């Protein structure tokens, strides 16, 4: 499902957005009178998940992929510690094939006294929908951190807002959904010095959802499987230097 690069492992990275008519918003400075450089950074895994057609211009790279996570609620009842969802898993391309050598690690704090708020939903929005005001009642935001290893020496760390929601279905089970919007903080390989965003939507299914809040928390402290699809949009900083560091 990903878009393969040319037969060469070299990729051309642009360091001056003025050639795309965006001089007022350039994040890069020219280097040695060169407007482009070719740098070998081979990565079969990243080539499999890059979606070139989704980029708005050649300086942006877009990666769309999934992950298979095992999630568990940790530190419940531990004095001085905040309970949190811990995730550990691996990355997949859009066909579900595992990316060799990949790993996902994530942490999402949980305010247990407010767990019931994840069952509440925002009210119907009033028209006109393209104008203010916006009613964000019951849109409760937490903050998560994700770490991705793509193999081949490439990795990226992101942090940002996350919204969890639980919906109990008719058969007595429940869906737990989490959506998140994050920004890149650091990376290695192709992502060293990168600036950009990562977003994800994850889903978890429980065959039986307890009625008691204590039993619900107890269920979450046992590992459960999540399927998540993700997108990174980034501008790379290879020998160019990102303004404002």
SS3 content of the chain, % helix, strand, coil (to 5): 15, 45, 40
What b/e sequence results for 210-227 when a residue is b if at least 16 CB atoms lie within 10 Å of its CB, and e otherwise? eeeeeebbebbeeebebb
Per-residue pLDDT of the chain (245 residues; tens, 9 = 90+): 455 444 334 444 444 433 333 434 434 343 444 344 444 477 999 999 999 999 999 999 999 999 999 999 999 999 999 999 999 999 999 999 999 999 999 999 999 999 999 999 999 999 999 999 999 999 999 999 999 999 989 999 999 999 999 999 988 999 999 999 999 999 999 999 999 999 999 999 999 999 999 999 999 999 999 999 999 999 987 544 445 44
**Which residues lie below 8 Å from residue 160, measured CB to CB, with a gap of 6+?**
143, 144, 180, 181, 182, 183, 197, 198
Q: Provide the CB-side half-sphere exposure for 161 (13 A, CA).
A: 5
Q: What angle do CA 138, 146, 109 make, to 5 degrees?
A: 45
Q: The whole model's pTM is what?
A: 0.81
> Cis before residue 133, ω within 30 degrees of 0?
yes
User: How many CB atoms neighbour CB 126 within 10 A?
Assistant: 10
Measured CA to CA, the distance from residue 4 to residue 156 in angstroms comes to 21
Contacts of 50 (CB under 8 A, 6+ apart): 2, 3, 5, 61, 62, 63
């Amino acid at each position: 499902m990903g878009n393969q690069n040319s037969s060469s492992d070299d990729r051309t990275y642009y360091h001056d957005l003025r050639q795309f008519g965006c001089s007022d918003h350039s994040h890069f400075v020219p280097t040695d009178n060169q407007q482009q450089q070719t740098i070998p950074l081979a990565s079969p895994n990243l080539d499999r998940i890059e979606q070139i057609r989704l980029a708005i211009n050649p300086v942006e790279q877009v990666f769309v992929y999934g992950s298979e996570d095992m999630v568990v609620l940790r530190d419940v009842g531990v004095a001085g510690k905040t309970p949190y969802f811990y995730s550990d898993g691996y990355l997949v391309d859009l066909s579900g094939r595992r990316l060799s050598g990949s790993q996902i690690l994530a942490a999402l704090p949980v305010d247990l006294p407010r767990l019931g708020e994840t069952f509440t939903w925002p009210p119907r929005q009033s028209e006109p929908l393209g104008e203010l005001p916006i009613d964000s009642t019951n849109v409760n935001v937490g903050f998560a951190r994700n770490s991705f290893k793509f193999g081949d020496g490439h990795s990226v760390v992101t942090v940002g807002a996350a919204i969890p929601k639980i919906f109990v279905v008719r058969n007595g089970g429940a869906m737990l959904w989490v959506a998140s919007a994050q920004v890149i903080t650091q990376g290695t390989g192709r992502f060293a010095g990168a600036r950009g965003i990562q977003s994800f939507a994850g889903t978890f299914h429980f065959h039986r959802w307890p009625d008691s809040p204590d039993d619900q928390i107890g269920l979450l402290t046992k590992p459960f499987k999540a399927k998540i699809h993700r997108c990174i949009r980034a501008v790379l900083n290879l020998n160019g230097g990102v303004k404002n560091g």
